[in-house]
């Protein structure tokens, strides 16, 4: 929040490394672990804008349109229902994947998808409760970009060009997102 070029590079690299037919971005509806997030509709539209030029990328409203807090186990179960013949791959940052044991119904997650933890080079990942082979790690140099830093840059009037796609830069400005008065 916001989607940035590091996310796009990571998705593209994972798609290539794992020979994925498509990557479906799923903006969270109501994240249960985060406060002060940008409204879901803005996050959805920024994701649509950022991914529009890559034919392999799609965006789903599955979490945004679901009532209540967003839990990965529900998202994956719903995606499995929509794509019963697909082998699901869940892509997330290694920092988030490292906490997977604390996620709702964590023991059920392993049957729903293979997990890919993307990280900056040199990042260590330990998930002691994960079954053997359930998580793959992929180092992505472009992940030095941070959504937290992007929000701070916008708030202090610093440029975010080339950190996020041009369309997302314009969307943030037009909708006064992450500004000092927000």
When pLDDT is averaged across residues 25-51 and rounded to a whole number, the result is: 91
Q: Give the global pTM.
A: 0.90
Exposed / middle / buried, residue 158 (Cβ in 10 Å: 0-12, 13-18, 19+): exposed
pLDDT at 182: 43
Q: Which residue has the higher pLDDT, 3 or 121?
A: 3
Q: Tell me: the pLDDT tens digits for 168-177?
A: 999 999 999 9
Domains of the chain (ranges, CATH numbers): 5-144 (3.40.50.620)
Q: Tell me: the pLDDT tens digits for 128-164?
A: 999 999 999 999 977 788 899 999 999 999 999 989 9
DSSP 37: P
- Per-residue pLDDT for 180 more than 60? no
pLDDT at 35: 75
Nearest in space to 18 (alpha carbons), one of 136, 98, 140, 133:
136
Tokens 């490394």 correspond to 17
Q: Tell me: the pLDDT tens digits for 78-95?
A: 999 999 999 999 999 999
pLDDT at 143: 72
Nearest in space to 7 (alpha carbons), one of 38, 58, 59, 51:
51
Q: Which residues contact 53 (CB under 8 A, 6 or more apart)?
A: none
């Amino acid at each position: 929040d916001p989607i940035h070029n590091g996310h796009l590079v990571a998705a593209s690299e994972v798609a290539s490394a794992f020979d994925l037919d498509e990557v479906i971005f799923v903006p969270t509806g109501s994240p249960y672990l985060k406060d002060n997030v940008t409204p879901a509709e803005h996050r959805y539209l920024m994701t649509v804008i950022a991914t529009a030029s890559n034919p392999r990328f799609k965006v789903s409203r599955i979490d945004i349109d679901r009532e209540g807090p967003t839990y990965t186990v529900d998202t994956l179960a719903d995606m499995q229902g929509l794509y019963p013949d697909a082998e699901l791959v869940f892509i997330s940052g290694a920092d988030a994947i490292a906490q997977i044991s604390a996620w709702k119904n964590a023991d059920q997650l392993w049957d729903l998808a293979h997990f890919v933890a993307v990280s900056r080079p040199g990042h260590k990942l330990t998930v002691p409760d994960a079954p053997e082979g359930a998580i793959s790690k992929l180092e992505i140099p472009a992940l030095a970009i941070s959504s937290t830093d992007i929000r701070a840059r916008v708030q202090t009037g610093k440029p975010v060009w080339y950190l996020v796609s041009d369309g997302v830069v314009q969307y943030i400005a037009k909708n006064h997102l992450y500004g000092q008065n927000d």
